[in-house]
Structure 1
Amino acid sequence: MRFPTPLIAVLALLPALAACSSEPDAPPPLSPAALAAVKADPGAPTEQLARAIDDLFEKEGLGETRALVVMQGGRIVAERYGEGYGPDTRFVSWSMAKTVTAAMIGLLVADGRLHLDEPPPIPRWRRPGDPRGEITLRHLLQMRSGLRHTESGDPPYESSEVRMLFLDGRDDMAAFAESQPLEAEPGAKFEYSSNTTVILSDIAARVLTRDPAPDARRTAVADYLQDRLFRPLGMTSIVPEFDRAGTLIGGSLMHGTARDWARFGDFLRNKGSYRGTQVVPRRWIEFMVSPSPRRGNYGGQTWLNRDPPEGEDALFAARGPKTMFAMIGHMGQYVLVAPDRRLVVVRLGHSDAAERPPMLQELADVVDLYPGR
């Protein structure tokens, strides 16, 4: 039987038309590792949460996710690790340590040993006529000291951070950071700086002991952190690092498990309270997560998911809740805290500058699965 030419053409198109009208391909089945990552009653759709977490580990172009912990309402509801890592692995904080240092400073303020709007006890700044004597503790906490601190440089070895951590400032980091001149009036300019947080660490040592010996400074600060912060929070894994002068490297180097980083995030979510005990004053945590006068997306050593400068966004302000805040560390360390969702998300790993923006969008997918109140 011969068909008219137009009918033959239509029949030839049927497979293509059928393909166009069919449903999109179903996503591939989740691996056992992906499904095992999610606990019972996670507070979000189980399969969607497992898939969002799986994307962070398996998608190309996001870098390497080594640990992911989701805590909701104070309970771990999802947890997964990359090959070679696990619940007992201590992960380096990088700049997430800044937020821990700020909590320690808050305890010293609560103890009456420091005052937020007064110059801190740094002898070299108290010499007559030194303009750095106008720098207050609040200025340091909000990264607006006015000191000449350049976090990133080109070439990198000329940055203040690299020089302090690894080159001519490494043996006495606080002395290096505190010796820098002003480049702006104190309080007038935001400049993110690991050197500034080391100054905060030095201030803590100065008020906790009068003994300038490195061992005395190291012991005083380590004991204070353990007695007043880590032990009350059950953070048994945290190991802080100190330089040769006994100064806590409070802007960069603390080590802890992903669970302990999540525990710290949940303590912040609860405004300084842990299991009914107010460890750090509530008002201090509120200060840490309130915008500074010079940077809408930064508080007191803590990043905020709101009001980023044009062209810059450390988080995902266009998507996530405005009440969310975060501890952020070099190469993709994140503790995200969303109080309105009773949520903490910890992601630890290694992502370069090009990989971090898409990786953050994957983290936003996880946060989106939890409805706000």
Structure 2
Amino acid sequence: MLRLRFHISAALPIAALAFLPALAGCGEPQEEPLPPLTETALAAVNENPGAPRDQLAREVDELFTDREFGETRALVLMHGGKIAAERYAPGYDADTRFVSWSMAKTVTAVMIGMLVADGRLTLDAPAPVPMWQRAGDARSEITLRHLLQMRSGLDHTEAGDPPYESSEVRMLFLDGRGDMARWAKEQPLEAEPGEQYEYSSNTTVILADIAARALTDSTDPQTRRKAVADYLEARLFGPLGMTSMIPEFDASGTLIGGSLIHGTARDWAKFGEFLRTGGSSGGAQLVPRQWVDAMTTPSPKSEFYGYQTWLNRDSGIDRDKSKADRGPDTLFAAVGHMGQYILVSPEQELTLVRLGHSDSEERTRMVGGLFDIVELYPAD
């Protein structure tokens, strides 16, 4: 759901500036002066944010006040590891937990990377799903890498018309809700494993089930929940100081790793910073840097997607197609339903978190507003 690049207006040639007063005197329309910044707008930005303070305050303010962007509920901007700007809509604050929606997929990818580094999972071996390993079952060719890159070939349709026919809705709310991973794993192939990209929340729940099976042999739901929750806390949330995080599980004890992890805006920013620094925090390497590199490398079947992570490439989604590219090629993102974004730009030492509620048309405009902020910062 992401295309993170937009048009950058070219500056007027210096020679043309000399004619502006004369043109204005000939009755040419002049630009309206910008309204003064409110105390609320200025208070959201630190004294030394690493970019022009008033301009940054204005861009942040627009995300909260322009109704064409939808409803922005929280924004946290990190630059060089420090908070440069932070703001909340009325009714929300630094202690409010926000639902991840599909930003959770990127968390799940990190957990899988840790288990691979631990030697509990193998990236290019057949995915350890027992029901696929029966004789003659072509699903036995699906690997962990295929799942991470959304190219399993399974018949998963993320969006349906009517909505209740989508694989995601059926898994989360209808016939699959009791054991989401089982429902997702039971679906047949619609393409040869590895040959076709198709975004799928069902696929991420399969990954979450694989993680649980790597951590415990038990089928008891409470044991499975505890094994995954304890692992995330010990290996990721705890070391990063993400104290607000609440992951959700289904009735079988599988993490709903494609859509339901809750946390504060600051904690989501900590997760973005962890990715920005290549999987490290406080001098400790929590996941191999090579894994974060792989997460942010285009897959063979989708230049805009890595391991459960969106890349700043053409996807035709969440962008204004009438405008040109914006932002560094190295920028990547965790993206959630209705406008949840963690934008990470290592070149600019930036992490930008925006949480709220925007429909598809509003998101196209709102992502442009996010890049108005990104482009205030020079790249290395």
> Shared fold (TM-score greater than 0.5)?
yes
Q: SS of the residue aligned with 1:358? A: helix
Q: SS of the residue aligned with 1:349? A: strand
Q: CA deviation at 1:313?
A: 5.3
Matches within 5 A, 1:161-176: 161-176=168-183
Q: SS of the residue aligned with 1:247? A: coil
Equivalent residue letter for 2:103:
M
Aligned partner of 2:341 among 323, 334, 343: 334
Equivalent residue letter for 1:300:
Y
Does residue 207 (structure 1) correspond to residue 214 (structure 2)? The answer is yes
Q: Percent identity?
A: 66
Does residue 281 (structure 1) correspond to residue 269 (structure 2)? The answer is no
Does residue 143 (structure 1) correspond to residue 150 (structure 2)? The answer is yes
User: Equivalent residue for 2:121?
Assistant: 114
User: Equivalent residue for 1:76?
Assistant: 83
Check conservation: 1:305, 1:317, Cα contact below 8 A: no
Q: CA deviation at 1:25?
A: 1.8
Distance 2:204 2:324 in 1: 25
- Note the residue ranges of structure 2 that are not aligned, 5 or more in a row: 1-23
- Note the residue ranges of structure 1 that are not aligned, 5 or more in a row: 1-16
Equivalent residue letter for 2:62:
D
User: Equivalent residue for 2:278?
Assistant: 271
User: Equivalent residue for 2:134?
Assistant: 127
Does residue 298 (structure 1) correspond to residue 319 (structure 2)? The answer is no
User: Equivalent residue for 1:5?
Assistant: none
Q: CA deviation at 1:24?
A: 1.9
User: Equivalent residue for 2:374?
Assistant: 367
Residues 155-201 of structure 1: per-residue CA shift (max 9 Å, x gap)? 00000000000111011000000000000000000000000000000
The 1:65/1:281 distance shift into structure 2, 3 A limit, reads same
Matches within 5 A, 1:171-182: 171-182=178-189
Q: Cα RMSD over matched residues?
A: 1.5
Equivalent residue letter for 1:50:
A
Check conservation: 1:303, 1:314, Cα contact below 8 A: no
Distance 1:317 1:129 in 2: 48
Q: CA deviation at 1:19?
A: 8.6
Check conservation: 2:318, 2:360, Cα contact below 8 A: no
Residues 269-320 of structure 1: per-residue CA shift (max 9 Å, x gap)? 00001111101110000000000000001000000002x24x4456998111
Q: SS of the residue aligned with 2:242? A: coil
Aligned partner of 2:65 among 55, 58, 62: 58
Higher-Rg member (1/2): 1
Distance 1:317 1:140 in 2: 32
Matches within 5 A, 1:190-339: 190-306=197-313, 308-309=314-315, 311-312=316-317, 318-339=325-346
User: Equivalent residue for 1:156?
Assistant: 163
TM-score scaled by length of structure 1: 0.93
Q: SS of the residue aligned with 1:354? A: helix
Aligned partner of 1:46 among 33, 48, 53: 53
Moved more, 354-363 or 312-321: 312-321
Q: CA deviation at 1:337?
A: 0.2
The 1:219/1:243 distance shift into structure 2, 3 A limit, reads same
Residues 182-239 of structure 1: per-residue CA shift (max 9 Å, x gap)? 0000000000000000000000011100010100100000000000110011111110
